[in-house]
Amino acid sequence: YGEVSEAIIMSAVERLFPRHILQDGDFLPFSAKGFTQLILAPEAALMLIAEDRAVTLAEARQVALSSSMYGYFRFP
């Protein structure tokens, strides 16, 4: 669930919520893209981790944090 997964999730979100639906003013202080990258995509990744591993969202967050360094070096 690193950069490649983020790109896939971002692509899916952009297809589900085209630019004309997600307006910049709707997510202040974030732009629509910032909200998608900083809030929506990471939360979607946590939900996918939780589902894949049959764990809670809190446990999924711990999995994401503990595996981030591995992903950084494994998938540069």
Greater confidence (26 vs 4) lies with 26
CA within 13 Å, CB half, 51: 7
Look at residue 32 in the predicted model and tell me its pLDDT: 87
Mapped onto helix, strand or coil, the DSSP state of residue 17 is coil
DSSP E strand boundaries for 1-76:
none
Look at residue 17 in the predicted model and tell me its pLDDT: 84
| 76: confidence class by pLDDT, cuts 50, 70, 90 | low
